[in-house]
């Protein structure tokens, strides 16, 4: 493998060359990243330390928050550091790790969202059998399947990337290592690899989005027989899920379901599914969720009271 490449590191060109833009982006995305970590950790701790953890919907939500943290942390800290640094370099090994981590955690999050849609379908369309169908063993198996799906998606992506020879230009027109930008600097014909990337990433995004869309259509269609209160509660929950799905899948489908080439706009769209959507997930899932807000108040109030009593 070493004989096929002379490149030991890559240069990430980032979002802009303008120093003022870089300073603005540094402040903005540092705030976004801190908010993302705080929000998702708040959800994780609140669910784990409350009875909500035993409810399937919140059990899956805790895994989604974990995926958001891991997914964004594979890119954002390096991105923020580069905005305040000089030459934005990344070693070949770290670049390959970033490719794997991005696709592994990203695809696992996609499958967790699909599992959450299935959970809502069972809860709304088969309420009498909900606890029987969504028992803890089945929930664990569904989460395990999501992780396995992430591995099955990301390992072929990593394998294709590692086999690319890099012996010429090493500047990547992006703020993180991804397969399509890397194809542009590989010193070989990458057409077949590009088609395989689209077939893998693009179809995963499209098929999952279609499955999610159909499931929520079925759910919404079934609500016509519910009471006004039941419809309002179900729509509130499903509305949160649908918002997350649109924020995440819209830019992802644009990035991967198209001919294997890159555009300057790719970096802007990538911000949505790497930073912006994961940052808004905690707000979307807690803002209109009374159970979640109640659990957060109880957990953190008990924590504060216990500290005061201890002092």
Is residue 103 pLDDT above 60, yes or no? yes
Percent of the chain with pLDDT over 70: 87
Please check whether residue 185 is in contact with residue 170, taking contact to mean a CB–CB distance below 8 angstroms. Answer: yes
Which carries the bigger pLDDT value, residue 105 or residue 125? Answer: 105
Name, in order, each residue with C-beta under 8 angstroms of 130's C-beta and a sequence gap of 6 or more: 122, 123
Is residue 241 pLDDT above 80, yes or no? no
Please check whether residue 3 is in contact with residue 61, taking contact to mean a CB–CB distance below 8 angstroms. Answer: no
Residue 1, pLDDT score: 41
What digits encode the pLDDT tens for the residues 173-228? 888 998 888 988 888 888 888 888 888 888 888 888 888 888 888 887 877 776 67
- What is the rounded distance in angstroms from the CA atom of residue 4 to the CA atom of residue 16? 31
Please check whether residue 238 is in contact with residue 220, taking contact to mean a CB–CB distance below 8 angstroms. Answer: yes
* pLDDT interval class at 293 (50, 70, 90): confident
- What is the rounded distance in angstroms from the CA atom of residue 252 to the CA atom of residue 150? 15
* pLDDT interval class at 304 (50, 70, 90): low
- What is the rounded distance in angstroms from the CA atom of residue 146 to the CA atom of residue 140? 10
Is residue 10 pLDDT above 60, yes or no? yes
Mean pLDDT of 38-66: 89
Range of lowest pLDDT (27-41, 118-132, 258-272): 258-272
Residue 19, pLDDT score: 84
Mean pLDDT of 286-302: 73
Measured at the alpha carbon of residue 187, what is the angle toward residues 181 and 192, in degrees to the nearest 5? 70
Tokens of 233: 């509660």
- What is the rounded distance in angstroms from the CA atom of residue 289 to the CA atom of residue 291? 6
Q: Identify which of 184, 201, 197 has the alpha carbon closest to the alpha carbon of residue 11.
A: 184
Mean pLDDT of 259-267: 73
What is the chain's mean pLDDT, rounded? 84
């Amino acid at each position: 493998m070493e004989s096929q490449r002379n490149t030991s590191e890559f240069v990430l060109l980032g979002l802009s060359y303008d120093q003022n833009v870089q300073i603005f982006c540094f402040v903005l995305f540092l705030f976004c990243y801190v908010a993302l970590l705080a929000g998702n950790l708040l959800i994780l701790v609140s669910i784990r330390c409350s009875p909500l953890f035993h409810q399937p919907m919140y059990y899956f939500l805790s895994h989604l928050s974990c995926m958001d943290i891991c997914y964004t942390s594979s890119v954002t800290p390096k991105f923020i550091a580069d905005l305040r640094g000089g030459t934005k370099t990344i070693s070949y090994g770290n670049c390959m790790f970033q490719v794997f981590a991005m696709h592994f955690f990203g695809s696992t999050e996609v499958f967790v969202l699909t599992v959450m849609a299935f959970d809502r379908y069972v809860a709304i369309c088969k309420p009498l059998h909900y606890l029987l169908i969504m028992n803890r063993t089945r929930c664990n198996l569904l989460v395990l399947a999501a992780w396995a799906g992430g591995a099955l998606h990301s390992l072929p992506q990593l394998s294709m990337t590692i086999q690319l020879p890099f012996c010429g230009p090493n500047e990547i027109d992006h703020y993180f290592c991804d397969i399509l930008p890397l194809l542009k600097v590989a010193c070989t014909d990458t057409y077949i690899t590009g088609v395989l990337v689209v077939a893998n990433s693009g179809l995963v995004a499209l098929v999952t989005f279609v499955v999610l869309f159909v499931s929520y259509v079925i759910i919404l269609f079934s609500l016509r027989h519910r009471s006004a209160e039941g419809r309002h509660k179900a729509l509130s929950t499903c509305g949160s899920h649908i918002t997350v799905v649109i924020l995440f899948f819209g830019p992802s489908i644009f990035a991967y379901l198209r001919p294997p080439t890159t555009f300057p706009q790719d970096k802007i769209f990538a911000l949505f599914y790497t930073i912006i959507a994961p940052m808004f997930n905690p707000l979307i899932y807690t803002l209109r969720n009374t159970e979640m807000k109640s659990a957060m108040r109880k957990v953190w109030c008990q924590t504060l009271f216990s500290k005061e009593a201890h002092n």
